[in-house]
Structure formats: structure tokens, C-alpha cells
Chain A
Amino acid sequence: MSAPAQAGFGKVLKEWIFTCDHKRVGILYLIGSLAAFLVAGLMAMLIRVELSSVGPTLTANPGTYNVWLYFHGAAMILGFQIPALTGFLANYLIPLQIGAKDVAFPRLNALSLWLFWMGIVLALLTFVIPDPPDFMWTAYPPYSIISSGNTAFYTFTVLIMGFASIAGGVNLITTIIYMRAPGMTWSKLNMFVWCTFAAFIVQLIFVPVLGTAVTMLTFDKYLGTTFFSPGSGGDVLLYQNLFWFYSHPAVYVILLPFLGIVFDVVATFARNRVFNYKAAVYGAIAVALMSGEVWIHHLYASGMPDWIRIGMMISTILISVPVGVMMISLVGTLYRGAIDFKSPMLWALGCMFLFLIGGLTGIPNAMSAIDLHIHDTHFVVAHFHYVMAVAGTFAVMAGVTYLFPKMFGKMCNEGISKLGFVVTFIGANVTFFSMFFVGLQGMPRRYFDYQQFPQFQGLNQLITVGAFIMALGFLIVLISWIHALVAGKKAVDNPWGSRSLEWTTSTPPGPGNWAEVPDCTNFDPYGYGSNK
């Protein structure tokens, strides 16, 4: 009796597993990255409970704590943020925004998706293998070489994720260049398309460097090479340089797409043109160009020569210039708009606010002399959570709530969604604003305990309370999604009244997206106000 139902389910499963459709690939990226987000978020909660009192709290074994911290960092960046932005959002949105039937190489797209999923499975095996990595997501040698943690495991996870993102980058860059609908000129592209395009170019240039660095690490540990071993002519700083040569630009691989989606969400809900669009586009390109010449700011306290520490202090501070230009365009998009505070807009505005605080607190970090005190303290942790981690997560939330009706044909309940946003926003600020203070007073990062600083317990408890509020907020968001999937109202094709091309499809869009390729000769993604 249940055979037909099972056959139906099996068929659907088969369709999804063997899919080459960019929308399904995007949604599968979303599911994988949310899995990473949930587990890495759970690790964050364990970390915060551990730090809520001086001395051992949750575990007496610092090694266990170090694995949580490793997993939190590695999974949040490589498993959640980069795939959610350049995997899910880019795959789902770019073909729809440029008027393409799919990406340029749909099978390659499926390959990168399943490579990414292999990476997620490998990463989750951290909790199963007997020797989980404990050397943080940075894996600095010599520690990562002498550690009993499994360095090869880390290397392969990074390499697989790296392969996935290189294949994805090649694919989407080609798609943007060659598959735009007739009439869709470069100056008509959505900000999200431009920003992601810039991010993919950064990704293609720098991911191989990370791959090289971690491969050399594994060679050193298992094959007896001595790239990073000073006793045999190697250099420990070589790794740090290679690592940050990738990992600073990686910040912009996250930043650019998240600003891009925030631009599009703000334009839609303000029903307004992006203010000074061309300036914002050039700003994104300038950020991408400058991203590769600032990495030494991670090595201000690492004994690099003074001239390069000063040089990269200046280049680091100057990257605030194109970012500032983009911010002016973003804020200007509100000017003479018609702003509607629906939940995607709230997430986008929350992201702007977090990014403002994160960006500005980056300036003291950029100053090499100031950094000598705050480097590797919780001040830096607070800063990068504001500017990248939490702001990026808010942008992903904005993107998911914005696209939810298009993806699943259901509307989220505005009340639950808004509640989720408000709780998360309060929690995020309690957590990370307090973290600035404890860091400024000298609490180093990656600490299991702080018995040398018993005076920090109060602030740490406040941070932990904030983390729980934030977790509650995300839980409400999750509930709002499940609720919408099960009992959400049916969505119309263009529920937000957007002018952007993705909303001209049926909901949810079928294979090939449009019955015929749309003609974009008179199209303008931000053509608001022209009905007067």
C-alpha cells in the first residue's frame, strides 16, 4: 500500500541527488551550510559555557575545548559562510538575475556541490575520529606538525572545500560573462551579481595558495619535508604568510557577496535605485583588487620586518576607502525610497548596523602600533564577528527570508520572523559588544581558562548570556522556516513587488527558469519610480 508513496519519495530523492539544476544545487548548498552552521553554533555554545566561570566548567580537559574551538572556526568559515554565500546564494540567484536558463556547466556545478558535501561529511567526522585536529582553523606550524591532532584530515577537508569553490568560481564567472540574456548589459547587473563576480575572482586567485600551504603542512608532518622547520632551513613564518595571503582575501569573499545581497534586499524594500550604482560597482572591484595586499595585518606581532608592517598598515587602512564608498551607496539607497520593514529588510538593516561597528573597530586593528596590544585578544574576536561572522550571517538570513517565497512557494510568518530577528540582534550585540571590553583589558583568544585574569569573569558571563539569547533567536528563525514550509501561506510570483529579474519567474521556478529567454532590452533591476 505504501509502495507508491515510497516510489514517489524515492523518485524525488533521486531527482535531487542527480540534479544539475542550479536552483536545486543552490538549495542543497543551503542545507549543507546550515548543517555546518548548526553544529558549529553548538560548539560556540559549549565554548561560551566553558568560559562562563574561571577554572574548568564543562570539561576539565583543555584538549576537548580546543577541538570545539577548531571546529567552530573552521566549520563556520569554510563550511557555512563561504558556501552559503558563494554556493547557495550565488547558484540560486545569479542565473535568475542575469536571465540564464542555468549555469554554464551544470554538471560541474553538481560536482562542486557534492565535493562540498564530502567536505561537510569529512568535517563532521571530526567528532568520530580518535585524533581530532586541535590546532584551530589557522593550523600554524610547528604546533600543527607536532600536534597529535590529525593534520592530514584537516588538509583534505580544506582541499576538498577548495576544489569545490574553485569549480564553482569558474562556473559562475563563465555564466556571468557568457550567459546574460539579450539586452542584459554589464551596467544592468544586480549589485549581487557584481559583488559575487568580484568575490569569485578573488577566490580563484587565492584559494590555490591556501591549498599549497596546507599541502606543505601535510608534507612536513608525514613525508619529512622541512618547509616550516627552522632547524632544517625552513621558516615558520612562511606558512603564516601563505595562509593569510589566502585567508585575508577570504574575508572579502564573504564580505562582497553579503554586501551584494544586502544591496538587493535594501533596493527591493525601499523600492529604490541603488544610489550611485557605478560607484558601488567600482567600489566592489577596488575592494577585490586591494584584498591581496593587506595580509600582514595578521602578522603585526609576528616579527615581520618593520617596513612591511608599516606598508600594510597603510594599505589596510586604505581599504576602508572603497568600502566607505559602497556604504554611502547602500545608505543612499534609502534616500527618497519607500521603505517597508519586512523581515528580510530587518535582517539587511541589522547587517548594515553590525557591519558599521565591525568596520569601524577594524581601524584600530589595522593600526600596527595599536594592534600590538589588541592583537590575538577578544577585541579582535569581537571585531571579526561583527564585521564578518555575524554581519555575514545576518546577510544570509536576509537572503534566505528574501528568497524563501521564490524557493519554496511559501511565505514565512512575518511575526515569528521578526521576533527571531529582534532576539538574535539583541543577543549578537550583548555578546560581541561586551567582548570588545574584555579584549581591550587583555583577555587573549583561544583560552580554555583565565585564572590569571579572575576579574574578567563578570564580563565573560555577560557574553555567555548574550550567546544564549542569540541561539534562542536563531532557533526562532529555524522554527519560522519549518512553520512556513509546513503551514505557510502560498506565495505569489513577486510578493515583495521587486523589479529584479528573478521575480519575473513563476513560483517556484521550473527547469529552465523561463518558458522563453527574457528580453532585457528595456529592463532595469532597480527601475523604481518610473511608474509616475
Chain B
Amino acid sequence: MLKRFGTSALAVLTVLGACSGAWASAAGGAIKNPAANWQHLWDEMLLDITIIGVVFALIIIYLLIRYRRTQPDQEGNPPVLSLAAQHAWVLIPVFLFMADDLFLAARGWNLWNDYRSVPAGSYEVELKAQMWSFNFKHPNGVEESGTLHVEAGKPVVVRMTSADVVHSMFIPDFKVKEDSMPGRVTYLWFYPEKSGEHVITCAEYCGMMHSGMHGKVIAMPKDQFQAWADAEKAKIATANAEGGKS
């Protein structure tokens, strides 16, 4: 519902942003990686704010040089603005700022929907954060703390809560974070396209060892991951069997 409303509002706002061509295509079955689109939007926005900043700075510097005081008793010679000019000096900038703002907002909304729409068939992991560790539980019952083994090339969704205080799971490489807290289940998803290791770190202040609360996403090729998951599961089975015997 939100998404549909977003898309239609987006259509209206597109007019404002017609100058920019590169839209992340909304259609198509391929998984859109929010991290890649984040970078794309970031670059665009950086250009946008740099231009505004440089224009403002250059105007200020020009005015400072052009209108510096040359005689001690010199006074300014302020322009007298007509009523029309007064309004124009408000309405034109307001229109320009709003056009830019709404254009960026529309792009941001689009990306937001990518961040919040978990692709079908994602690998679902549970996280219970606690002071001061990330504890993950895989769908096959395997639990691990600190590390999170996943399959490369498959999106991963983490459903999270917390055992004590507010924490935040932050994976800088995937440009994503979400707070985990007691009493609520929140989520984030990310897309490890290739195998590799990525730091997970806590981004919400959680006391003494806040900065020591970190771990790793370990993305592995499909067969290796399967082997890891099976081996871990077998370990649980052995442990249970031994526990049953005694």
C-alpha cells in the first residue's frame, strides 16, 4: 500500500527530476542490491550538495571582496526591494529548494522501498542481541555468536530482537543497520553477492563494552556453506545424543 502510494507520488515528482536519467529500474526480477543503489544515490546527492555549497561559497567570497570597506566612515548602499522583488526573493528560492528537496526525497523513497522489501526466498536468520554479543540462529537450528555464516549470492534477512538493552546491527560493507531492542522484532536484509568477510558492529550505545561488540558476516560459496551448516547441525545432534546417554 505504502509502496503503491510511493510509486504514484514518485510519478508526479519525476517531472521535477526529469533532468536526471539514471533511475534504478523498478521492474525486472533481478534482486536490487540496496548497497549498490545506496552508493549511486549517495554520489548523486554529493554532487547536488557540493554544487549548492560551492555556489553559495563563491557568491559569499565575491561579495566579501567586492564590497569590502575602503574608507572608515563608509556605509552600505542597500538596494530598495519592491514588493514584487521581496516576494520573488522568497518564492523563487523556495521553489528551487523544494524542487531539489522533493526530487531527492523521491529518489530516497525509492531506495527506502528497496531497503525495506525483503526479496522472496531470502535466507532467514534470527538475531538476539545482548550485552555484548550478536547471537544468531539459523533456520536449521544452528546457533552461533559473533560470526554469521551465509551463502554468497543469496539475500539474507535478519529478524532481530534484544535480550537486554538497545543495540544496533551495523554492517558498513552492506550500508545497512537496524536497531534491535527488547519487546519488538525489527529486521534488515542484505545481499552478499560474492563470498568474503564483512564486519558487523554495534551502532547503538549499549554500555561499557559497546565498541567491543562486533562480529563478522562470512559469505561462502553455496556448497561450502551447505557443508558448514550440515557439520554444525551434526555437532548439535551428537551433543544431544551424548546428553541423552548420560
Contact = CB atoms under 8 A, between A and B. Distances in A.
A335 B181 CA distance: 53
Given A279-B89, A309-B112, A370 B49 contact: no
Contacts of B63: 331, 334-335, 337, 339
A373 B94 contact: no
Nearest to A69: B205
B170 interface: yes
A377 interface: yes
B210 A318 contact: no
A47 interface: no
B186 interface: yes
Interface in B144-192: 164-166, 168, 170, 172-173, 175-179, 181-184, 186
A356 interface: yes
Interface residues of A, number: 91
A303 B178 contact: yes
Contacts of A368: 108, 112
B38 A370 contact: yes
Contacts, number: 260
A321 B98 contact: yes
Given A324-B93, A325-B90, A529-B76, A339 B67 contact: yes
Interface string A271-302: 11101101100100000000000000000011
B3 to A, nearest CB: 9
A143 B42 contact: no
A321 B42 contact: no
A147 B69 contact: no
Interface stretch (B52-60, B217-225, B227-235): B52-60
Contact of B199 (A271, A364, A453): A453
Interface in A62-80: 62-63, 66
Interface string B59-99: 11001100111100111111101000010011001100110
A495 B20 CA distance: 53
Interface stretch (A121-129, A162-170, A443-451): A443-451
Contact of A142 (B116, B173, B182, B199): B182
A451 B213 CA distance: 11
Given A321-B101, A448-B210, A369 B115 contact: yes
A338 B76 contact: yes
A7 B69 CA distance: 49
B125 to A, nearest CB: 17
Interface in A219-244: 230-231, 234-237
6 contacts: A275-B89, A324-B94, A337-B67, A338-B74, A372-B176, A448-B212
Interface of B: 2, 6, 34, 38, 41-42, 45-46, 48-49, 52-53, 56-57, 59-60, 63-64, 67-70, 73-79, 81, 86, 89-90, 93-94, 97-98, 101-102, 104-105, 108-109, 111-112, 114-116, 164-166, 168, 170, 172-173, 175-179, 181-184, 186, 199, 201-212, 214
Q: Which 3 A-B pairs have the closest CB atoms?
A: A230-B183, A442-B172, A272-B76
